[in-house]
Chain A
Amino acid sequence: SYALTQPPSVSVSPGQTASITCSGEGLGDKYASWYQQKPGQSPLLVIYQDIKRPSGIPERFSGSNSGNTATLTISGTQAMDEADYYCQASDNGVVFGGGTKLTVL
């Protein structure tokens, strides 16, 4: 079955750029979405169709997808961006990556 792999954790200093990767066979041929989840909250869509931002999501969130890797980039990371991030793609159903804990310190 199809699988998406994310690093368990990423750390970034406030104001710097955070990059979270998501790897899967031929992922670049599919659309990737990204979700942010803070403790005790439901997931929130932050990127869809590789590069699009839903209304209300800050411009500092951006995405890319090529080859076998999709990347979520957060520019000028803020303390409020500390959360778990999940990538997601569709392949005969829906698949989520294992999640990446982003720490802002």
Chain B
Amino acid sequence: QVQLVQSGAEMKMPGSSVKVSCEVSGGSFSNYAFSWVRQAPGQGLEWIGGIIPILDTSNFAQTFQGRVTITADRSTSTAYMELSSLRSEDTAVYYCARGSLEGNWIFSLWGRGSLVTVSS
């Protein structure tokens, strides 16, 4: 069964960066797009951006332009999201979500989430 295995919880200082990983276990990697979606405590879902590994193309929500980097390593079937200049408002659970064969932005598979806490 295909799973998205995400990296563990992180505690970061304001102004620093965090890099979260998402490894595909038991399935194909390159044929799908991968997105990152975050959820602040008690809040809704917010799309950060996505990447299509086979094309090595990525796009981002305007809110995160210039502050986020999304990459994919096809050799290890792993996608990464790095967010810089962290502030307390970035405290959230960060989800990795895989697109489907019907559409890159139809999120048919999700990771369990990685909690990122930004605090001094």
Contacts and interface: CB of A to CB of B under 8 A. Distances in A.
Given A43-B95, A93-B47, A94-B50, A31 B103 contact: yes
Interface of B: 35, 37, 44-47, 49-50, 59-62, 95, 97, 100, 102-103, 105-108, 110-113
A88 B6 CA distance: 23
Nearest to A97: B44
Interface of A: 1, 31, 33, 35, 37, 42-45, 48-49, 52, 54, 84, 86, 88, 90, 93-99
Secondary structure of the B side of the interface?
Answer: strand
B50 A45 contact: no
A33 B106 contact: yes
Contact of B102 (A37, A43, A49, A98): A49
27 contacts: A31-B103, A33-B107, A35-B107, A42-B110, A42-B111, A43-B37, A43-B45, A44-B110, A45-B107, A45-B108, A48-B103, A49-B102, A54-B108, A84-B44, A86-B45, A88-B107, A90-B105, A93-B49, A93-B59, A93-B60, A94-B35, A94-B47, A94-B61, A96-B37, A96-B45, A96-B47, A97-B44
B100 A48 contact: yes
Cβ-closest 9 pairs across A and B: A94-B47, A42-B110, A99-B44, A96-B45, A48-B106, A90-B105, A94-B105, A98-B44, A45-B108
A42 B112 contact: yes
Contacts of A35: 45, 107
